[in-house]
Amino acid sequence: MKKLLGETIIYGIGAILPRVIIFALNPLYIALIDKDEFAQFTSLYAMISFVNIVLTFGFETAFFRFSSEAENKNKTFNTSFWFLAGTSTLFLTCCLLFSQPIANGLGFAKNPEYIRWFAWIAFFDTLCVIPFAWLRYHNKPVKYSLVRVVQSLIQTVAVIALFLYIPSELSRSFGLKEKVSYPFYSNVIGSLVGCLLLLPVMLKVRFEFVKELFLRMIKYSWPIMLAGFAFMVNENFDKVMQFFLIDEGDAGAYGGCYKLAVIMTLFVTAYRMGIEPFFFKQMQNENAKITYAKVTEYFTVFASVVAMGIIANISWLKTILIPNSSYWTAIDIVPIIIIANLFFGIYYNLSTWYKVTDRTKVGTAISWAGAAVTILFNFLLLKSFGFMVSAWTTLGAYFVMMVLSYYLGQKYYPIPYRTGKITGYLVMVTLFSFVSYWVFNADFWIGNLIFVLFTGIVLYQNKEFILKLKRK
C-alpha cells in the first residue's frame, strides 16, 4: 500500500503539475480574453476531447490488460502503437484536406486554422498514448512525470510569450488572428515536444502487428472506447451544447468557473494514473478483492477531505484563479462539480470489477446510462434554465454511474466494501459542503472551521490506518 501511495504521488506530479501549470494560466486567459471568445476556447477543447477518445480506441487500458500476459508483452506494445499511429495519421490527413468544410459545420468558418491546429494536437497526443502507457506499466513514474512536466513548461512559455512579449503583428504573420488562438498554437508546440521527448520509447517499437492479438484487443477495447466517449459526454457535452444553446458570455463564464473545480479533477486524475496498473497487477492475487475494498475506502476518505477543503476556500480561490469578476456569475457551479468529481472517483474504483473480469461491455452500459442523463437534461432544460442545469446534471450522471457500478459489481464480482462507512463519508461531506457554501454564503472563516471539524472526524475514525502507515 505504501509503494502504491509513493507511485501515486510521483504519477501525481506528472499528471497534476502539468495541469497546474496550464491551470495557473487561467487568470491570464480570463484577463485578456473576453467571455464570448472564452466560450470558443472551452467548446473547441471540449470537442477535441471526443476526438481523442475515438482515436485512442481504449487501447491504453487494453495495453495494460494484455501486457500482463507474459508471452504477449512485446507484441502488445508493437501492435498497439501501430494501430494508433494509423488512426491518428488518417484523422490528420482528413482534417488537413477538409479543414474549411469542417470549420463551416462547427461554426468556425472564419478560422479553419483552428481545425488544422487541433488535428495536429490530436495526432501528436495519440502517438504518445502507448509510449506513456509503457512508462507506467514498467514502473517508470519519474520519466513519465519528467516528460509531462517539460512538455507543459514548453507550452506555457510559448503561450506567455505570445500574450505578453511577441508583437501582435508578428503573431498575425503566423496566422494567429485573435488572442484566443494563442493557447491553441502553444498546445501544438507542446504536443510536438511530447512526441520528441518520447522518441527513446518509440524507438523500441518493432515492425510487428499480430492480427490475432489485435482482434482480441479490439474486442476488449471497443467497449472501453464507448465508455470513454460516454465519460466525455458527461464531462464536456455541456460545454459544447452551451456554445450553441445559451448566451456565449454565460457559456464563457461557466467554462471559466469550471476550471476552479479542476482542482478536484486533478486529484482524481493523479489517483487514476497510479491505480490502474496496480489493479491489473493484483488481479491474480488471492487477496485482490480485500485490497480493492481497502483502496476504495481510503480513496473516499482522502478525496472527501480534499473536496471539503476546496469548497471551504472558494471565496478566496476565485479572486486569484478567476480575477475577472464578470465570470463569477457561474461560481455556484463549483461545489456541485467538485462533489460530482468525488462521485466519479469512487465510481472509478468500483469499476475495477468489469475490467479485471473482461466484462467491459457492462462498463460501457453504465457509462452510457450516465451519458443519457447528461444528454437528456441538457437538451430539455439548458436553454430554458441556463448553465446551472449542466452542473446539477453532471452530479446526477456520476451518482447514477456510481450506484449502478456498485450493484452490478456485487452481482458479478462481489467485493467486501464497507458500504456503510463509505456512504457515511459521502453524506457527511455533502451536508458539510452545503452548510459551508449555501447556508453561510461561502464565508472563509466559518467554511474553514467546518473543514477542520470534518477533517478531525475523518482522522479520528481512521487513526489506526494512519498510525500503521506512519510506522511503515
Please compute, for residue 2, the number of CA atoms within 13 A of its CA located in the half-sphere on the CB side. Answer: 8
> By CB neighbour count within 10 A (0-12 exposed, 13-18 middle, 19+ buried), where does 91 fall?
middle
Rg (CA), the chain: 22
* pLDDT, average across residues 119-144: 90
pLDDT band of 281, cuts 50, 70, 90:
low
Residue 81, pLDDT score: 95
DSSP alpha helices (H): ranges in 24-163?
Answer: 26-32, 35-56, 59-67, 73-97, 99-106, 112-137, 141-160
Q: Check residues 288 and 245 and name the one with the higher pLDDT.
A: 245
Cα 225 from Cα 223, distance rounded (Å): 5
Cα 467 from Cα 53, distance rounded (Å): 41
For the chain, percent of residues with pLDDT exceeding 70: 91
Nearest residue to 251 (alpha-carbon basis) of 236, 229, 232: 236
Q: Are 190 and 18 in contact (CB under 8 A)?
A: no
Residue 361, pLDDT score: 80
Residue 376, pLDDT score: 95
Q: Are 256 and 30 in contact (CB under 8 A)?
A: yes
Helices 112-137 & 35-56, crossing angle to 10 degrees?
Answer: 50
Residue 463 has pLDDT above 80, yes or no: no
What sign for the dihedral angle of Cα 419, 416, 337, 108?
Answer: negative
Cα 376 from Cα 93, distance rounded (Å): 34
Cα 232 from Cα 272, distance rounded (Å): 16
Residue 415, pLDDT score: 87
For the chain, percent of residues with pLDDT exceeding 90: 41
Helices 35-56 & 73-97, crossing angle to 10 degrees?
Answer: 140
Residue 395, pLDDT score: 95
Backbone angles phi, psi at 204, to 5 degrees: -80, -15
Residues 6+ apart with CB under 8 A from 106: 47, 115
Is 25 strand, coil or helix? coil
* pLDDT, average across residues 98-110: 88
Q: Are 187 and 121 in contact (CB under 8 A)?
A: yes
Residue 130 has pLDDT above 90, yes or no: yes
What are 188's three cell numbers?
Answer: 501544438
Residue 30, pLDDT score: 81
Backbone angle region of 100, left / alpha / beta, with phi > 0 → left and psi within -120 to 50 → alpha: alpha
Q: For 62-81, how does the pLDDT look when each residue is reduced to its tens digit (9 = 90+)?
A: 898 888 777 888 899 999 99
Residue 325 has pLDDT above 70, yes or no: yes
Residues 6+ apart with CB under 8 A from 302: none
Is 204 strand, coil or helix? coil
Least confident of 133-137, 271-275, 391-395: 271-275
pLDDT band of 9, cuts 50, 70, 90:
low
Residue 279, pLDDT score: 57
Q: For 150-206, how does the pLDDT look when each residue is reduced to its tens digit (9 = 90+)?
A: 998 999 999 999 988 888 888 888 778 788 888 888 999 999 999 999 999 999 999
242 CB neighbour count, 10 Å cutoff: 28
Nearest residue to 259 (alpha-carbon basis) of 14, 42, 37: 42
Given the C-alpha cell 490530436, which residue does it identify?
Answer: 122
Least confident of 188-202, 212-226, 369-383: 212-226
Cα 7 from Cα 444, distance rounded (Å): 34
Q: What mean pLDDT is reported for the chain?
A: 86
The DSSP code for 161 is I
Where in the chain are the domains?
Answer: 2-471
Nearest residue to 53 (alpha-carbon basis) of 256, 317, 284, 235: 235
* pLDDT, average across residues 389-407: 94
Q: Check residues 401 and 466 and name the one with the higher pLDDT.
A: 401
- Predicted TM-score (pTM) of this structure: 0.77
pLDDT band of 471, cuts 50, 70, 90:
low
* pLDDT, average across residues 405-411: 91
pLDDT band of 91, cuts 50, 70, 90:
very high
Long-range contacts: 74-77, Cβ < 8 Å, 24+?
74/206, 74/208, 75/208, 75/210, 75/213, 76/213, 76/217, 77/130, 77/134, 77/204, 77/205
What are 157's three cell numbers?
Answer: 512559455
Rounded to a whole number, what is the distance in angstroms from the first to the last CA of the chain? 10
Given the C-alpha cell 488544422, which residue does it identify?
Answer: 116
